Structures are given as C-alpha cells and as structure tokens.
Structure 1
Amino acid sequence: MFMTVKEAAEKWELSDRRVRILCAEGKIPGAYQQGRGWKIPANAVKPADGRYKTSASLLEIIDRKKAELDTCRPLTAGEVARLTEEFTVEYTYNSNAIEGNTLTLRETDMVLRGLTIDQKPLKDHMEAVGHKEAFDFVRELVRDNIPLSERTIQQIHYLVLADKREDRGVYRRVPVRILGAQHEPVQPYMIQPRMEQLMLSYAESKEHIVTKVARFHIEFEGIHPFIDGNGRTGRLLVNLELMKAGYPPIDIKFTDRLSYYNAFDEYHIKKNLAAMETLFARYLDERLEQYLTMLQVHGGNRNGTV
C-alpha cells in the first residue's frame, strides 16, 4: 500500500513541497519516483526534522529559500494579489486578537469587506479597518523603499490607532505598565532619547535581518512609546523591514501568543534574544515555503522571466 505526496503531507502536517524534498533526499525509506510523482509506503513514519538544530542553521535555510524565491521575481500582479489578500485578513485578525480584539477570523474578513458585525463593539471594527489600512501603507513604504524613521513609525501608528484620535501618532505623556510583563516601559521624558538611540543602533546593525528585527521589536516594545497600539505597530514595523529586505511578511498567530510573550521575558530577564529570533525565523521559513509551493504549483519553472 502506498500514499501520494499530498496524502503524506496531510498526514504529517508538512507542505507538499517539503515531502517531495524528503523523498528526493532519500529520507523516506521505500519511497520511489513514478513519473513526475512519488509513491510513499502507507506505513512510512514522518522523518525527524533535522533542519532546526540552531537558529543559525535556520537562518541559512531561510536565505536559501529566499534565493530560490528571487529566481521567480518579479511576480505577476495576480500572484501578488493571491499572496497578499488572504494573508492580510489573517494577519489583521491575529495581530488584533493578541491585543484583545474579539472579532473572529471570519468576522474580520467580513468587516474588511465593509460589513458590520452585530453585537461586536465599534472599537473592534475600527481596529480591523485601521490595521488593514496601516498594512496597505506599509506595502507602499516597501514599494518606495522608504527608510525607517520616527516619522514613519508615527505615521503607521496614526493609522493603527483608529479609535483614539487624540493619541494617534504621538508619544505618550504618562507612565504605563504592562500587566504580567517582566519589564517596565521607560518614563515619558525618556521616550524621545531612547527612540533616537534605537533608530541609530538599528541603522548601524550588521546582523542578519531576522536577528536585527527581533532585537528592534523587543527594544521598541520595551520603550512602549505610545499610549496604545504599540504591539500592532511594532509587528507592522517588523514586516516593513522584512519586506524591504525582500522577505515575505510574517503573521504571529494568536495561538502562539504565550511563546511570543515569553520571548520578551527571555530577553529582559536573561538577555536571551534567541527565543524571539527563532520564533520570527520559524514563521518566515513557513511563509517562504508557502510562497515557493504556490509558485511551483501555479507557475512551473519560471526562471525569473516574468
């Protein structure tokens, strides 16, 4: 008895492309190629994943996948739309849900299509629309290759904080605390100098982009420059810089929020960046895999001619 690549992918919760790679590398005993497909023993065991032994090895995998994606560029308008539309809805849902928004994924999709959800707060509707508009703005910044600056951050925050007009795009003037966090944000009078220092250190960093944005994200959230909307703005900034560097955007899932929160504590308590770096890298690896799989299925061997 044998199963197809698709059946094995569903059984092992891997992408079709990953299963084909495992077959080609001889990692699945008894699997053999038949025509353009693979025949996999029905009782085959999912191979151990040795790709993620260290964050450094994962970054190397990410870079190889990006190089492969670069051969498919430029993408057509249809491909860009396909890759962006579904992501935008899920990204808006997850980023808002992490901050307490009560809209479901389906409701978020409906709101972004212009519908109103009965018995859900106006605030939740405005947050969904605001996040979508902010992400659209981020994509414009990427297209124009606009450098990261305090003004850019404030512009993104202005769109994010759609429900608090007086606080949009301005640094907070009162102290705040983050419930349950192991780190206390800086006092208001320190926000400006700390933001200037953060922008300078980010610009001078020679680290891998994933390491760079992981460090920036934690430091930005530690400063907590705005009265509200710091998390959503910070995650948009991560994607702004990833996309400018040629990588796809990532979507930190609501279901992974505890790992996300723990990554902040790991840094502030133990000065350990690896937790956030690895979290970002895993998401980025999955996104690259999705891009490559879709382009392989729908575009064949493109050789960068489009």
Structure 2
Amino acid sequence: MTNLPEPLIDFSPAAQQLEQRLQALDRAWQRFEAELQAGKVARNSLEAMRVELTYNSNAIEGNTLSLRETQLVLEGISPPGGKNLKEIYVARNHDTAFGKVETWIAERPPHDALTLQDLLDIHKIVMRDIDPAAGGLRTGRVLIKGTRFVPPGGHPFDELIPAMLDLANRTRGLHPAIQAAELHYNFVAIHPFSDGNGRTARLLMNYWLMQRRFPVTIIDVADRAEYLNTLELANKGDCVPFASFVANCIEHSIHRLIGE
C-alpha cells in the first residue's frame, strides 16, 4: 500500500474484496464494447445519458431543475416558470464542461496524464458566471454540509494534489473502477475549491473512465444517500463501500446503454 499524506487513501485493498463484483462489471463492459463496435449503441441513447449526467450531478448538489427543464436549458430554451438564473448557469456550465471532457477524449492519446491544469480548466467552466474564483484553488478552510469531515487547509495543496494525480496516472494493475473511485474520493477529500468540488469530481471521474473506453457513468440523485454514506465511510478509512458503489454506477450505466 502506498504511503500517502492525509487525507488521501490508496484504494488497492478494495480490489481483492470486490473481485467477484469487478468480474461482473468486466462482463458487462465486454458486452458494451461489442455492441459499440457493432454500431448497436444508439446515438440518441448516448445523448440522453449526457443530459441525465448533467441533471443528476446538479440535482445531487440541490439544483431544482427537472430532467426536462435541464434538457430545455441545454437546447438553449428557457424553462417555464421563471427558474433561478444561477440554476440555469449551473446546468449550462456542467454540459459545457462535459463537452470539454469529450474534446480531450477525442484529441488526446489514451491514458493521457491528468494534470492540475485539467482540474482548474474543468472547475473554471463549472463555476463560470457563478463564482469569481472559478478555476482558482481555495485559500482558506471549507466545511462540507452533512459530514464531520473537515478538508485540509490551503497550505498542503502543493503536496496533496501531486500525490493524488500520481495515484491517478500511475499504472498500478488496479481495475479502472477502483482507480476511478479512488480519484473521485481523493479529490473531494482534498476539496481544492471553495465550491463546485462534487460536480468537478464526477466530471473528472468520467474523463478518467472514458479514457479507458468506459461509457458515461451517472451517479443517480436517487442514490444520493448511499453516495454520501459511502463517501463518509471512506472518510473513516473504509474505502470498499464507495468503490463498490462506483462499480455499481458504472455497470448500471452500461446496462442502460445496451438495453439490459
């Protein structure tokens, strides 16, 4: 196990405990890959998943736009009922940030290293017209609603972020689902921004997975309680439930795309 500065966690121990779970995920991924190569994954299904990704990621953070209203915003149409302008910006920005992820996937070599600049670029888009500090690391402490976990102050970022990126970029023989969960957890544990950390973490997790030919992975707002509970368990040192949760989300997204 890697020696890491707190609060980072090496998720390697989860791999052995979740071996059967990961084998099932691999079988689902192989079916997805075969259908994708055969042209059997409908483009409209991929587009629908993109809208649902934005809706669910924002709803987890309390955004009140419905799925239909989110779709209207992404089509450039103002939803009825005088919705809060900030919520409209949040939806627009998330979709634009996912578009940036897709551009990176198309233009960069597979498994290209994730960088600090990538983190800053995604956050800058996510928080555009919402936070004047968009794209900048926080300088003070921050609290996370619903947990006693307190992220580190701003001073250790020079050590924590490179360590997190090294874990994400290094070939360690871990299943992609385990390493994606590890990246997500360590990012939110550092909490490098004053706001927008959850949305940025989920986008970065998707970028990391899509580089490895996994589809868009949605964490459903209906699973918010389990999501937060498993993150809290990881805060206490048990990373297995969160790794399992992420694997379930990946497999569920695959099943939706291939109609299972």
User: By the TM > 0.5 criterion, same fold?
Assistant: yes
**2:179 is matched with which residue: 189, 200, 212?**
212
1:220 partner amino acid: F
Q: Which residue of 2 aligns with 1:268?
A: 235
1:202 partner amino acid: A
Asked whether the equivalents of residues 182 and 268 of structure 1 are also in contact (C-alpha less than 8 Å), the reply is: no
Distance 2:30 2:23 in 1: 11
Asked whether the equivalents of residues 58 and 90 of structure 2 are also in contact (C-alpha less than 8 Å), the reply is: yes
Asked whether the equivalents of residues 50 and 216 of structure 2 are also in contact (C-alpha less than 8 Å), the reply is: no
Instruction: Give 3-state SS (helix, strand or coil) of 1:178's partner.
Output: coil
TM-score (norm. length: structure 2): 0.86
Q: Which residue of 1 aligns with 2:77?
A: 115
Please show how residues 93-112 of structure 1 align to structure 2 within 5 Å: 93-112=55-74
Q: Which residue of 1 aligns with 2:104?
A: 141
1:222 partner amino acid: A
1:180 aligns with 2:143: no
Q: Which residue of 1 aligns with 2:10?
A: none
1:137 partner amino acid: K
**2:206 is matched with which residue: 229, 233, 239?**
239
Query: How far apart are 1:153 and its partner, in Å?
Result: 1.2
Q: Which residue of 1 aligns with 2:9?
A: none
TM-score (norm. length: structure 1): 0.73
CA pair 71-259 structure 1, distance change in 2 beyond 3 A: same
Moved over 3 A (4+): 72-76
Query: How far apart are 1:165 and its partner, in Å?
Result: 4.8
CA RMSD of aligned residues (A): 1.8
Distance 1:180 1:136 in 2: 31
Query: How far apart are 1:80 and its partner, in Å?
Result: 5.8
Instruction: Give 3-state SS (helix, strand or coil) of 2:132's partner.
Output: helix
Deviation readout 1:64-110 (Å, 9 max, x if unpaired): 2222333334465x946323211111111110011111111111111
Q: Which residue of 1 aligns with 2:244?
A: 278
Query: How far apart are 1:173 and its partner, in Å?
Result: 1.3
Q: Which residue of 1 aligns with 2:155?
A: 189
Structure with higher RCO (Cα < 8 A, 6+ apart): 2
Unaligned runs of 5+ in 1: 1-53, 295-306
> Which protein is bigger by CA-based radius of gyration?
1
2:149 partner amino acid: H
Distance 1:263 1:115 in 2: 37
**1:90 is matched with which residue: 52, 73, 85?**
52
CA pair 108-186 structure 1, distance change in 2 beyond 3 A: same
Query: How far apart are 1:223 and its partner, in Å?
Result: 0.5
Please show how residues 52-91 of structure 1 align to structure 2 within 5 Å: 55-74=18-37, 76=39, 79=41, 81-91=43-53
CA pair 165-75 structure 1, distance change in 2 beyond 3 A: farther
Unaligned runs of 5+ in 2: 1-16
Q: Which residue of 2 aligns with 1:252?
A: 219
The share of aligned pairs that are identical, in percent, is: 30
